[in-house]
Amino acid sequence: MITRLYHSNVRPSLFNRSFNLINRWTSTSKRTKFIHPNDNELSKILSKVIEITGPIPLSSYMRQCLTHPTLGYYTSKDPLGGQGDFITSPEISQLFGEMIGIWFYSIWKSLDSSTRKINFIEFGPGKGTLMYDCLKIFKRLLKDNNIQINIIMIETSKILKRKQYEILTKDAKNSKLFESFPFWNSKLNNGEIIWCDTEIDLNEILDKNNNIDDNYNFIIAHEFFDALPINKFIKTNLGWRELLVDKSNDSSNFFLIQSPSETPSSKIPQLNKRYNSLPEKSSIEICPDLYKYSKTISNLIVDNKDKNQGKGAALIIDYGVSNNIPDNTLRGIKTHKFVNPFSEPGKVDLSADVDFQAIIETINDGDDNCQTLGPIDQGDWLINMGIQLRLTQLLQNLQNESERNLLISGVKRIVEKDENSMGKIYKFLGLVPQFKDKENVIPGFSK
Ligand SMILES: C[S@@+](CC[C@H](N)C(=O)[O-])C[C@H]1O[C@@H](n2cnc3c(N)ncnc32)[C@H](O)[C@@H]1O
Protein backbone atom coordinates (compact mmCIF):
# COMPACT_ATOMS: atom_id res chain seq x y z
CA MET A 1 0.00 0.00 0.00
CA ILE A 2 1.22 3.50 -0.74
CA THR A 3 0.55 6.34 1.64
CA ARG A 4 0.78 9.65 -0.13
CA LEU A 5 2.96 12.20 1.54
CA TYR A 6 1.60 15.51 0.40
CA HIS A 7 -1.99 15.20 1.48
CA SER A 8 -2.07 18.59 3.15
CA ASN A 9 -0.94 20.50 0.08
CA VAL A 10 -4.04 20.35 -2.08
CA ARG A 11 -4.56 22.50 -5.12
CA PRO A 12 -5.83 25.84 -3.82
CA SER A 13 -9.46 25.78 -2.84
CA LEU A 14 -11.33 26.32 -6.05
CA PHE A 15 -14.10 28.14 -4.27
CA ASN A 16 -12.27 31.42 -4.49
CA ARG A 17 -10.83 30.77 -7.94
CA SER A 18 -12.81 33.39 -9.79
CA PHE A 19 -11.01 36.43 -8.46
CA ASN A 20 -12.27 39.18 -10.63
CA LEU A 21 -10.06 40.07 -13.56
CA ILE A 22 -12.86 40.94 -15.92
CA ASN A 23 -12.43 44.70 -15.62
CA ARG A 24 -8.86 44.55 -16.68
CA TRP A 25 -9.55 42.02 -19.41
CA THR A 26 -12.25 43.91 -21.16
CA SER A 27 -10.82 47.37 -20.77
CA THR A 28 -8.73 48.95 -23.49
CA SER A 29 -8.12 52.10 -21.53
CA LYS A 30 -7.55 51.26 -17.87
CA ARG A 31 -4.59 48.99 -17.48
CA THR A 32 -3.61 47.70 -14.12
CA LYS A 33 0.11 47.55 -13.35
CA PHE A 34 1.39 44.04 -12.62
CA ILE A 35 3.32 43.19 -9.51
CA HIS A 36 5.51 40.63 -11.25
CA PRO A 37 7.97 42.00 -13.79
CA ASN A 38 7.47 39.96 -16.95
CA ASP A 39 11.03 39.82 -18.15
CA ASN A 40 11.70 36.12 -18.62
CA GLU A 41 12.65 34.59 -21.96
CA LEU A 42 9.14 33.48 -22.92
CA SER A 43 7.79 36.97 -22.14
CA LYS A 44 10.29 38.41 -24.57
CA ILE A 45 9.26 35.96 -27.30
CA LEU A 46 5.55 36.67 -26.74
CA SER A 47 6.22 40.42 -26.68
CA LYS A 48 8.09 40.24 -29.96
CA VAL A 49 5.28 38.24 -31.59
CA ILE A 50 2.67 40.79 -30.45
CA GLU A 51 4.83 43.67 -31.68
CA ILE A 52 5.04 42.06 -35.12
CA THR A 53 1.55 40.61 -35.54
CA GLY A 54 -0.58 42.66 -33.17
CA PRO A 55 -2.66 41.17 -30.34
CA ILE A 56 -2.88 37.36 -30.32
CA PRO A 57 -5.70 34.98 -29.34
CA LEU A 58 -5.71 33.95 -25.68
CA SER A 59 -5.40 30.30 -26.81
CA SER A 60 -2.12 31.08 -28.66
CA TYR A 61 -0.78 32.83 -25.56
CA MET A 62 -1.81 29.94 -23.30
CA ARG A 63 -0.41 27.27 -25.64
CA GLN A 64 3.02 28.90 -25.54
CA CYS A 65 2.88 29.40 -21.77
CA LEU A 66 1.90 25.78 -21.12
CA THR A 67 3.60 23.73 -23.80
CA HIS A 68 6.36 25.79 -25.49
CA PRO A 69 8.93 23.03 -26.23
CA THR A 70 11.55 24.33 -23.79
CA LEU A 71 10.07 27.30 -21.90
CA GLY A 72 6.50 26.07 -21.32
CA TYR A 73 5.10 25.43 -17.87
CA TYR A 74 4.58 21.69 -18.38
CA THR A 75 7.63 21.12 -20.56
CA SER A 76 10.21 22.75 -18.28
CA LYS A 77 9.46 21.28 -14.83
CA ASP A 78 7.49 18.81 -12.73
CA PRO A 79 4.66 20.95 -11.37
CA LEU A 80 2.98 18.36 -9.15
CA GLY A 81 3.34 17.64 -5.45
CA GLY A 82 4.15 19.38 -2.20
CA GLN A 83 7.20 21.11 -3.66
CA GLY A 84 5.34 22.00 -6.86
CA ASP A 85 2.39 24.22 -7.63
CA PHE A 86 -0.57 21.91 -7.11
CA ILE A 87 -1.58 18.43 -6.08
CA THR A 88 -4.16 16.14 -7.67
CA SER A 89 -6.52 13.45 -6.31
CA PRO A 90 -4.42 10.42 -7.35
CA GLU A 91 -1.42 11.96 -5.58
CA ILE A 92 -3.53 12.37 -2.43
CA SER A 93 -5.02 8.89 -2.20
CA GLN A 94 -4.29 5.56 -3.91
CA LEU A 95 -8.00 4.79 -3.64
CA PHE A 96 -8.77 7.30 -6.38
CA GLY A 97 -6.96 5.27 -9.06
CA GLU A 98 -8.16 2.02 -7.55
CA MET A 99 -11.84 2.99 -7.90
CA ILE A 100 -11.16 3.86 -11.55
CA GLY A 101 -9.53 0.44 -12.05
CA ILE A 102 -12.62 -1.24 -10.56
CA TRP A 103 -14.89 0.78 -12.86
CA PHE A 104 -12.97 -0.27 -15.97
CA TYR A 105 -13.01 -3.87 -14.80
CA SER A 106 -16.78 -3.81 -14.41
CA ILE A 107 -17.13 -2.40 -17.93
CA TRP A 108 -14.75 -5.04 -19.23
CA LYS A 109 -16.94 -7.75 -17.70
CA SER A 110 -20.12 -6.33 -19.18
CA LEU A 111 -18.55 -5.96 -22.64
CA ASP A 112 -18.23 -9.73 -22.56
CA SER A 113 -15.20 -9.62 -24.77
CA SER A 114 -13.02 -12.32 -26.20
CA THR A 115 -10.22 -9.89 -27.03
CA ARG A 116 -6.75 -10.62 -25.70
CA LYS A 117 -5.48 -7.06 -25.97
CA ILE A 118 -6.40 -3.99 -23.94
CA ASN A 119 -4.99 -0.50 -24.32
CA PHE A 120 -5.10 1.78 -21.30
CA ILE A 121 -4.80 5.27 -22.73
CA GLU A 122 -4.29 8.32 -20.54
CA PHE A 123 -4.37 11.98 -21.58
CA GLY A 124 -2.13 14.18 -19.42
CA PRO A 125 -0.96 11.49 -16.99
CA GLY A 126 1.14 13.69 -14.66
CA LYS A 127 3.43 11.47 -12.59
CA GLY A 128 1.69 8.26 -13.76
CA THR A 129 0.30 7.54 -10.28
CA LEU A 130 -3.33 7.23 -11.37
CA MET A 131 -2.46 4.70 -14.09
CA TYR A 132 -0.31 2.73 -11.65
CA ASP A 133 -3.08 2.44 -9.03
CA CYS A 134 -5.75 1.75 -11.66
CA LEU A 135 -3.81 -1.07 -13.35
CA LYS A 136 -2.75 -2.65 -10.06
CA ILE A 137 -6.41 -3.27 -9.17
CA PHE A 138 -7.53 -4.01 -12.75
CA LYS A 139 -4.92 -6.77 -13.14
CA ARG A 140 -5.70 -8.19 -9.72
CA LEU A 141 -9.37 -8.52 -10.67
CA LEU A 142 -8.63 -9.76 -14.20
CA LYS A 143 -6.57 -12.73 -12.95
CA ASP A 144 -5.45 -13.51 -16.50
CA ASN A 145 -1.81 -12.99 -17.39
CA ASN A 146 -2.41 -13.95 -20.99
CA ILE A 147 -4.26 -10.76 -21.80
CA GLN A 148 -1.85 -8.22 -23.20
CA ILE A 149 -2.14 -4.82 -21.53
CA ASN A 150 -0.54 -1.86 -23.30
CA ILE A 151 -0.30 1.62 -21.85
CA ILE A 152 -0.43 4.65 -24.11
CA MET A 153 0.38 8.01 -22.55
CA ILE A 154 -0.40 11.30 -24.26
CA GLU A 155 2.06 13.58 -22.55
CA THR A 156 3.78 16.75 -23.67
CA SER A 157 6.48 16.85 -20.97
CA LYS A 158 9.70 14.81 -21.19
CA ILE A 159 10.23 15.33 -17.47
CA LEU A 160 6.85 13.79 -16.66
CA LYS A 161 7.31 11.01 -19.26
CA ARG A 162 10.41 9.89 -17.33
CA LYS A 163 8.50 9.99 -14.02
CA GLN A 164 5.70 7.94 -15.59
CA TYR A 165 8.21 5.38 -16.82
CA GLU A 166 9.70 5.04 -13.33
CA ILE A 167 6.42 4.37 -11.54
CA LEU A 168 4.87 2.16 -14.21
CA THR A 169 7.88 -0.15 -14.55
CA LYS A 170 8.86 -0.39 -10.90
CA ASP A 171 7.40 -3.92 -10.72
CA ALA A 172 8.59 -4.95 -14.21
CA LYS A 173 11.71 -7.04 -14.76
CA ASN A 174 14.63 -5.58 -16.78
CA SER A 175 12.69 -2.71 -18.24
CA LYS A 176 14.44 0.03 -20.19
CA LEU A 177 13.17 3.36 -21.45
CA PHE A 178 13.83 3.99 -25.15
CA GLU A 179 13.70 7.71 -25.80
CA SER A 180 13.48 7.02 -29.49
CA PHE A 181 11.94 8.94 -32.36
CA PRO A 182 9.03 9.30 -32.97
CA PHE A 183 7.64 7.58 -29.88
CA TRP A 184 9.29 6.80 -26.58
CA ASN A 185 8.57 3.25 -25.46
CA SER A 186 9.32 0.59 -22.89
CA LYS A 187 8.47 -3.08 -22.45
CA LEU A 188 6.22 -4.22 -19.61
CA ASN A 189 5.89 -7.77 -18.29
CA ASN A 190 3.05 -8.43 -20.70
CA GLY A 191 2.71 -5.49 -23.07
CA GLU A 192 4.39 -2.18 -23.61
CA ILE A 193 4.20 1.51 -22.81
CA ILE A 194 4.21 4.01 -25.65
CA TRP A 195 4.29 7.77 -25.24
CA CYS A 196 3.04 10.32 -27.71
CA ASP A 197 2.91 14.09 -27.56
CA THR A 198 -0.55 14.75 -28.92
CA GLU A 199 -3.75 12.98 -29.80
CA ILE A 200 -2.79 13.24 -33.50
CA ASP A 201 -0.09 10.60 -32.94
CA LEU A 202 -2.53 8.27 -31.28
CA ASN A 203 -4.04 6.77 -34.41
CA GLU A 204 -0.60 6.22 -35.86
CA ILE A 205 0.44 4.28 -32.77
CA LEU A 206 -2.74 2.22 -32.66
CA ASP A 207 -2.67 1.54 -36.41
CA LYS A 208 1.00 0.66 -36.59
CA ASN A 209 1.17 -1.63 -33.62
CA ASN A 210 -2.11 -3.41 -33.82
CA ASN A 211 -5.13 -4.05 -35.83
CA ILE A 212 -7.03 -1.14 -34.32
CA ASP A 213 -10.42 -2.86 -34.36
CA ASP A 214 -9.16 -5.80 -32.32
CA ASN A 215 -8.23 -3.66 -29.38
CA TYR A 216 -10.18 -2.53 -26.41
CA ASN A 217 -9.44 0.99 -25.26
CA PHE A 218 -9.91 2.17 -21.70
CA ILE A 219 -9.32 5.89 -21.56
CA ILE A 220 -8.66 8.33 -18.73
CA ALA A 221 -8.40 12.12 -18.86
CA HIS A 222 -7.97 13.51 -15.37
CA GLU A 223 -7.25 17.23 -15.06
CA PHE A 224 -6.32 17.28 -18.73
CA PHE A 225 -9.13 19.28 -20.33
CA ASP A 226 -8.67 22.13 -17.82
CA ALA A 227 -5.07 22.50 -19.07
CA LEU A 228 -6.14 23.06 -22.69
CA PRO A 229 -6.02 26.60 -24.12
CA ILE A 230 -9.21 28.63 -24.30
CA ASN A 231 -10.48 31.60 -26.30
CA LYS A 232 -12.56 34.32 -24.73
CA PHE A 233 -15.45 36.21 -26.32
CA ILE A 234 -17.93 38.93 -25.49
CA LYS A 235 -21.28 39.47 -27.20
CA THR A 236 -21.62 43.08 -28.37
CA ASN A 237 -24.40 44.81 -30.30
CA LEU A 238 -22.31 44.12 -33.43
CA GLY A 239 -21.94 40.39 -32.69
CA TRP A 240 -19.32 38.26 -30.96
CA ARG A 241 -15.93 39.86 -30.41
CA GLU A 242 -12.84 37.99 -29.31
CA LEU A 243 -10.70 39.15 -26.40
CA LEU A 244 -7.08 39.13 -27.49
CA VAL A 245 -3.80 39.32 -25.59
CA ASP A 246 -1.98 42.62 -26.04
CA LYS A 247 1.00 44.19 -24.29
CA SER A 248 1.92 47.65 -23.08
CA ASN A 249 4.20 49.71 -25.34
CA ASP A 250 7.18 49.91 -23.05
CA SER A 251 7.22 46.51 -21.34
CA SER A 252 6.07 42.90 -21.48
CA ASN A 253 2.99 43.39 -19.36
CA PHE A 254 0.17 41.45 -20.93
CA PHE A 255 -3.56 42.14 -20.77
CA LEU A 256 -6.74 41.39 -22.70
CA ILE A 257 -8.34 43.77 -25.16
CA GLN A 258 -11.48 43.45 -27.19
CA SER A 259 -10.94 42.94 -30.90
CA PRO A 260 -12.64 45.82 -32.81
CA SER A 261 -13.79 43.48 -35.59
CA GLU A 262 -14.56 39.82 -36.16
CA THR A 263 -11.69 37.34 -35.89
CA PRO A 264 -11.68 33.84 -37.45
CA SER A 265 -12.54 32.37 -34.03
CA SER A 266 -15.54 34.60 -33.42
CA LYS A 267 -17.40 32.30 -35.82
CA ILE A 268 -17.32 29.62 -33.08
CA PRO A 269 -19.87 31.26 -30.74
CA GLN A 270 -21.76 32.72 -33.70
CA LEU A 271 -22.44 29.32 -35.25
CA ASN A 272 -23.31 27.49 -32.03
CA LYS A 273 -26.90 27.82 -30.78
CA ARG A 274 -25.97 27.35 -27.13
CA TYR A 275 -23.59 30.32 -27.23
CA ASN A 276 -25.40 32.47 -29.73
CA SER A 277 -28.67 32.45 -27.77
CA LEU A 278 -26.95 34.27 -24.88
CA PRO A 279 -27.95 37.92 -24.34
CA GLU A 280 -25.78 40.90 -25.28
CA LYS A 281 -22.86 41.67 -22.92
CA SER A 282 -22.45 37.95 -22.14
CA SER A 283 -18.87 36.85 -21.99
CA ILE A 284 -17.77 33.23 -22.41
CA GLU A 285 -14.73 30.98 -22.56
CA ILE A 286 -14.52 28.34 -25.27
CA CYS A 287 -11.93 25.58 -25.55
CA PRO A 288 -11.61 24.68 -29.27
CA ASP A 289 -9.30 21.71 -28.53
CA LEU A 290 -12.07 20.18 -26.39
CA TYR A 291 -13.94 19.23 -29.58
CA LYS A 292 -11.13 17.26 -31.19
CA TYR A 293 -10.14 15.48 -27.98
CA SER A 294 -13.76 14.55 -27.20
CA LYS A 295 -14.28 13.13 -30.70
CA THR A 296 -11.00 11.25 -30.60
CA ILE A 297 -11.95 9.66 -27.28
CA SER A 298 -15.46 8.67 -28.34
CA ASN A 299 -14.21 7.19 -31.64
CA LEU A 300 -11.80 4.98 -29.74
CA ILE A 301 -14.51 3.30 -27.71
CA VAL A 302 -17.04 2.66 -30.45
CA ASP A 303 -16.68 -0.43 -32.59
CA ASN A 304 -16.74 0.66 -36.20
CA LYS A 305 -17.57 -2.84 -37.42
CA ASP A 306 -20.40 -3.64 -35.04
CA LYS A 307 -22.04 -0.51 -33.67
CA ASN A 308 -23.92 -2.47 -31.01
CA GLN A 309 -20.78 -3.93 -29.52
CA GLY A 310 -18.45 -1.15 -28.43
CA LYS A 311 -14.86 -1.63 -27.53
CA GLY A 312 -13.99 0.36 -24.50
CA ALA A 313 -14.95 3.14 -22.14
CA ALA A 314 -13.64 6.48 -20.95
CA LEU A 315 -13.66 8.65 -17.87
CA ILE A 316 -13.19 12.40 -18.12
CA ILE A 317 -12.60 13.89 -14.68
CA ASP A 318 -12.08 17.57 -14.08
CA TYR A 319 -13.35 20.65 -12.35
CA GLY A 320 -15.95 22.56 -14.21
CA VAL A 321 -19.58 23.34 -14.60
CA SER A 322 -22.28 20.79 -15.42
CA ASN A 323 -24.70 23.11 -17.21
CA ASN A 324 -23.41 26.66 -17.45
CA ILE A 325 -20.95 28.01 -19.97
CA PRO A 326 -17.64 28.94 -18.30
CA ASP A 327 -16.92 32.64 -17.96
CA ASN A 328 -14.01 34.35 -16.23
CA THR A 329 -12.56 31.11 -14.86
CA LEU A 330 -9.04 31.38 -16.28
CA ARG A 331 -6.61 31.30 -13.39
CA GLY A 332 -2.91 31.20 -12.69
CA ILE A 333 -1.63 28.85 -9.98
CA LYS A 334 1.80 29.02 -8.42
CA THR A 335 3.09 27.33 -5.25
CA HIS A 336 -0.44 26.38 -4.18
CA LYS A 337 -1.79 29.92 -4.54
CA PHE A 338 -3.86 31.71 -7.16
CA VAL A 339 -1.94 34.33 -9.12
CA ASN A 340 -2.63 36.57 -12.06
CA PRO A 341 -2.69 34.38 -15.21
CA PHE A 342 -0.69 37.01 -17.12
CA SER A 343 2.19 37.03 -14.69
CA GLU A 344 5.47 35.20 -15.36
CA PRO A 345 4.59 33.36 -18.61
CA GLY A 346 5.71 29.73 -18.51
CA LYS A 347 6.32 29.81 -14.75
CA VAL A 348 2.68 29.78 -13.69
CA ASP A 349 0.13 27.00 -14.23
CA LEU A 350 -2.84 28.17 -16.29
CA SER A 351 -6.18 26.43 -16.21
CA ALA A 352 -9.87 27.08 -16.81
CA ASP A 353 -13.14 25.37 -15.89
CA VAL A 354 -14.17 22.55 -18.21
CA ASP A 355 -17.41 22.93 -20.14
CA PHE A 356 -18.86 19.43 -19.66
CA GLN A 357 -21.95 20.29 -21.67
CA ALA A 358 -19.75 21.09 -24.68
CA ILE A 359 -18.10 17.65 -24.37
CA ILE A 360 -21.52 15.97 -24.22
CA GLU A 361 -22.80 17.96 -27.22
CA THR A 362 -19.70 17.07 -29.24
CA ILE A 363 -20.03 13.39 -28.50
CA ASN A 364 -23.74 13.26 -29.24
CA ASP A 365 -23.46 15.37 -32.38
CA GLY A 366 -24.55 13.19 -35.31
CA ASP A 367 -23.51 9.99 -33.57
CA ASP A 368 -25.59 7.87 -31.24
CA ASN A 369 -23.08 5.07 -30.80
CA CYS A 370 -21.55 6.52 -27.69
CA GLN A 371 -23.47 7.47 -24.56
CA THR A 372 -22.43 9.84 -21.85
CA LEU A 373 -23.01 9.32 -18.12
CA GLY A 374 -23.04 12.22 -15.69
CA PRO A 375 -21.29 14.48 -15.00
CA ILE A 376 -21.67 13.73 -11.31
CA ASP A 377 -19.74 15.01 -8.33
CA GLN A 378 -16.49 13.20 -7.66
CA GLY A 379 -17.53 12.49 -4.06
CA ASP A 380 -20.72 10.73 -5.17
CA TRP A 381 -18.94 8.71 -7.83
CA LEU A 382 -16.28 7.49 -5.40
CA ILE A 383 -18.91 6.56 -2.79
CA ASN A 384 -20.97 4.76 -5.45
CA MET A 385 -17.88 2.80 -6.44
CA GLY A 386 -17.36 1.59 -2.88
CA ILE A 387 -14.49 3.73 -1.65
CA GLN A 388 -15.63 3.37 2.00
CA LEU A 389 -15.53 -0.40 1.76
CA ARG A 390 -12.05 -0.37 0.30
CA LEU A 391 -10.90 2.06 2.98
CA THR A 392 -12.19 -0.24 5.73
CA GLN A 393 -10.44 -3.16 4.07
CA LEU A 394 -7.09 -1.31 3.94
CA LEU A 395 -7.42 -0.04 7.51
CA GLN A 396 -7.87 -3.60 8.79
CA ASN A 397 -4.30 -4.36 7.72
CA LEU A 398 -2.77 -1.13 8.91
CA GLN A 399 -1.61 -0.81 12.53
CA ASN A 400 0.46 2.37 12.41
CA GLU A 401 -1.67 5.23 13.72
CA SER A 402 -0.18 8.00 11.59
CA GLU A 403 -0.45 5.90 8.41
CA ARG A 404 -4.08 5.16 9.26
CA ASN A 405 -4.78 8.86 9.76
CA LEU A 406 -3.04 9.76 6.52
CA LEU A 407 -5.12 7.23 4.62
CA ILE A 408 -8.37 8.45 6.19
CA SER A 409 -7.62 12.14 5.65
CA GLY A 410 -6.64 11.47 2.02
CA VAL A 411 -9.99 9.79 1.34
CA LYS A 412 -11.87 12.59 3.10
CA ARG A 413 -10.10 15.16 0.96
CA ILE A 414 -11.08 13.56 -2.33
CA VAL A 415 -14.64 12.63 -1.26
CA GLU A 416 -16.00 15.37 0.97
CA LYS A 417 -17.80 18.40 -0.43
CA ASP A 418 -16.68 21.26 1.80
CA GLU A 419 -14.59 24.05 0.36
CA ASN A 420 -11.27 22.48 1.30
CA SER A 421 -12.11 19.18 -0.32
CA MET A 422 -12.47 17.97 -3.87
CA GLY A 423 -15.68 15.91 -3.77
CA LYS A 424 -17.98 18.60 -5.18
CA ILE A 425 -15.85 20.75 -7.45
CA TYR A 426 -14.51 17.85 -9.46
CA LYS A 427 -16.90 15.93 -11.72
CA PHE A 428 -16.86 12.52 -13.38
CA LEU A 429 -18.16 12.14 -16.93
CA GLY A 430 -18.40 8.59 -18.29
CA LEU A 431 -18.37 7.58 -21.95
CA VAL A 432 -19.50 4.11 -22.89
CA PRO A 433 -20.69 2.54 -26.11
CA GLN A 434 -24.45 2.32 -26.68
CA PHE A 435 -24.62 -1.33 -25.74
CA LYS A 436 -28.32 -0.89 -25.52
CA ASP A 437 -29.64 -3.61 -23.26
CA LYS A 438 -26.89 -3.20 -20.65
CA GLU A 439 -27.20 0.42 -19.55
CA ASN A 440 -28.17 -0.49 -16.00
CA VAL A 441 -25.06 -2.42 -15.24
CA ILE A 442 -22.74 0.58 -15.42
CA PRO A 443 -21.73 1.51 -11.88
CA GLY A 444 -20.76 4.87 -10.42
CA PHE A 445 -23.19 7.28 -12.00
CA SER A 446 -26.48 6.95 -10.17
CA LYS A 447 -27.26 10.09 -8.14
C1 LIG B 1 -2.89 19.16 -14.27
S2 LIG B 1 -1.78 17.94 -14.82
C3 LIG B 1 -2.74 16.49 -14.44
C4 LIG B 1 -1.88 15.32 -14.08
C5 LIG B 1 -2.53 13.98 -13.80
N6 LIG B 1 -3.64 13.67 -14.66
C7 LIG B 1 -2.92 13.83 -12.35
O8 LIG B 1 -4.08 13.63 -12.09
O9 LIG B 1 -2.07 13.91 -11.47
C10 LIG B 1 -1.89 18.08 -16.60
C11 LIG B 1 -1.15 16.99 -17.36
O12 LIG B 1 -1.41 17.15 -18.76
C13 LIG B 1 -0.18 17.29 -19.48
N14 LIG B 1 -0.49 18.19 -20.59
C15 LIG B 1 -0.89 19.48 -20.51
N16 LIG B 1 -1.18 19.97 -21.74
C17 LIG B 1 -0.96 18.95 -22.61
C18 LIG B 1 -1.09 18.81 -24.02
N19 LIG B 1 -1.52 19.84 -24.77
N20 LIG B 1 -0.80 17.63 -24.59
C21 LIG B 1 -0.39 16.59 -23.83
N22 LIG B 1 -0.24 16.66 -22.48
C23 LIG B 1 -0.52 17.81 -21.87
C24 LIG B 1 0.79 17.83 -18.45
O25 LIG B 1 2.13 17.66 -18.78
C26 LIG B 1 0.36 17.03 -17.23
O27 LIG B 1 0.84 15.71 -17.28
Position 14 pLDDT exceeds 50: no
Q: Which pLDDT belongs to residue 24? A: 28
Please return the burial class of 341, using the count of CB atoms within 10 Å of its CB with bins 0-12, 13-18 and 19+: buried
Axis crossing angle, helix 129-142 with helix 158-168, rounded to the nearest 10: 30
- Among residues 85, 118, 95, the alpha carbon closest in space to that of 1 is found at 95
Q: Measured in angstroms, how far is the CA atom of residue 224 from the centroid of ligand 1?
A: 5
Please return the burial class of 436, using the count of CB atoms within 10 Å of its CB with bins 0-12, 13-18 and 19+: exposed
Q: Where are the beta strands (DSSP E) in 21-157?
A: 56-57, 117-123, 148-154
Least confident of 5-9, 155-159, 274-278: 5-9
Q: DSSP of 18-40, one letter per residue?
A: ----HHHHH-SS--PPPSS---S
Q: Measured in angstroms, how far is the CA atom of residue 76 from the centroid of ligand 1?
A: 13
Instruction: For residue 415, count other CB atoms closer than 10 A to its CB.
Output: 25
What is the dotted CATH code of the domain comprising 1-447?
3.40.50.12710
Rounded distance between C-alpha atoms, residue 34 and residue 24, angstroms: 11
Q: What is the pTM of this model?
A: 0.90
Closest-CA residue, ligand 1 atom 7, reads 126
Rounded distance between C-alpha atoms, residue 347 and residue 76, angstroms: 9
Helix (H/G/I), strand (E/B), else coil: 322: coil
Residue type (1 letter), 235: K
Closest-CA residue, ligand 1 atom 13, reads 124
Instruction: For residue 22, count other CB atoms closer than 10 A to its CB.
Output: 15
Select from 11, 224, 348 the residue to mutate for testing ligand 1; criterion: most ligand atoms less than 8 Å from CB.
224
Position 76 pLDDT exceeds 80: yes
**Closest ligand 1 atom to Cα of 127:** 9
Select from 6, 9, 74 the residue to mutate for testing ligand 1; criterion: most ligand atoms less than 8 Å from CB.
74
What confidence category does residue 213 fall into, taking pLDDT thresholds of 50, 70 and 90? low
Over residues 252-268, the pLDDT tens digits come to: 789 999 999 999 999 99
What confidence category does residue 178 fall into, taking pLDDT thresholds of 50, 70 and 90? very high
Residue 373 pairs in a beta bridge with: 430
Q: Which pLDDT belongs to residue 409? A: 96
What does pLDDT average to over the chain?
86
Q: Where are the domains of the chain?
A: 1-447
Q: Which pLDDT belongs to residue 16? A: 28
Q: Which pLDDT belongs to residue 307? A: 63
Region 423-435: mean pLDDT is 91
Please return the burial class of 88, using the count of CB atoms within 10 Å of its CB with bins 0-12, 13-18 and 19+: buried
Higher per-residue pLDDT: 343 or 11: 343
Find the residues whose C-beta lies inside 6 A of ligand 1.
66-67, 74, 80, 88, 90-91, 124-126, 130, 154-157, 160, 198, 222-224, 227
Select from 155, 161, 414 the residue to mutate for testing ligand 1; criterion: most ligand atoms less than 8 Å from CB.
155
